[in-house]
Homo-oligomer: A and B are copies of this chain.
Amino acid sequence: MTTMQDTHISLAHGNGGRFMRELIDELFAKYLSNPFLDTRTDAATLGQHDGSLLMTTDGFTVQPLEFPGGNIGSLAIHGTVNDLAVSGAIPRYLSLNAFIEEGLEIELLDRLIRSLAEAAKEAGVHVVTGDTKVLRRGEGGGLYLATTGVGTRAVKNELSMAQIQSGDKILVSGPVGDHGTAIMLAREQFGMRGDLQSDSACVLPLTRLLHDLEGLRFMRDPTRGGLASVMQEIHRGTGMGVRLFEQQVPVQDPVTSVCEMLGYDPLYLACEGRVVAIVSEDQAELALSAWQSLDQGAEAAIIGHISKDQQHVVLETSLGGERMLEELEDDPLPRIC
């Protein structure tokens, strides 16, 4: 940042001229440098790969930009990498769009992009192309990011909701609701504080472990709308019912406490580093022990099953009752990711 004299982003950083070039060279390219990224070209040439390619995209608007356990930079990697991972792919290439609000501190932007670059490195992906736009003061929430990922297919059997069968088990790789709750606390809008960390992480180590498992039917990461929304999607996509057991669903104590106090349901709160997997009944325990062999999956659990005899998503509560998990209507928590 030696020749960038400004401490804050100005409109001139978005104009296609010298300031934009310096911002890209001295901040983005400094951290993201890799053999495929050339900020002087209009398009990056990708390497040769055998097998199918998969493509996905995600936008990020989380507020605050930095929160316990992560920030919008690392989240922008995890979100897109995880969508490829749960689709049975190895993430390879990413594009990055940054919409930067005029007035953003360059030091903050520097931290966020450094963190983004570290997360990309950890996930083994290259950011090969990017674009920055500067938004007028007041026309953007500090920073919005979008990433698009391309990966190579790594599983032999097709993963899709069409593969799901009655009796299949539902696994989750760790406690749910951490990200949503951590963001709520970080906003301090409820007058509460806490040291709960977001679970934001790359789930590739978890999904890789299941690549060769014949009984693997489908995976999804429970982000916006949380675990309950993934269950709703499966219900809608398969026409079969879902039965969950509240006692089996891992939820951290501080998440339970905060949710009880504020009237949220942890099952509807976003995770950013968890995987839900649907696995055949006979291989569910195998998948579970594979996950539990990793620190990241230490609290993995079998939380329910698919049932063709049911028409809803039903939660069997700790007290032995039943509760329907309906599709989300109001937004419990905007700008969570």
**Residue ranges of A at the interface with B (Cβ–Cβ < 8 Å):** 11-12, 14-21, 40-46, 48, 52-61, 83-84, 86-87, 89, 93, 95-99, 128-136, 138-141, 144, 146, 148-151, 153, 160-161, 220-221, 223-226, 229, 233, 237, 270, 327-332, 334-335
Contacts and interface: CB of A to CB of B under 8 A. Distances in A.
Given A16-B270, A45-B53, A59-B146, 14 more contacts: A11-B331, A15-B331, A41-B87, A42-B84, A43-B54, A43-B87, A56-B129, A57-B97, A57-B130, A57-B131, A59-B99, A99-B99, A134-B331, A136-B334
Given A41-B160, A42-B56, A55-B44, A14 B329 contact: no
B17 A59 contact: no
A55 B98 CA distance: 17
A121 to B, nearest CB: 19
B42 A83 contact: yes
Given A43-B84, A140-B141, A141-B140, A95 B225 contact: no
A56 B144 CA distance: 18
B129 A17 contact: no
A260 to B, nearest CB: 21
B141 A332 contact: no
A99 B225 contact: no
A61 B328 contact: no
B59 A16 contact: no
Majority secondary structure, A binding face: mixed
Contact of A146 (B48, B52, B134, B146): B146
| A57, A60, A87: residue with the most chain B Cβ atoms closer than 10 Å | A57
A148 B220 CA distance: 23
Contact of A144 (B84, B93, B144): B144
Contact of A233 (B40, B43, B98): B40
A169 B11 CA distance: 34
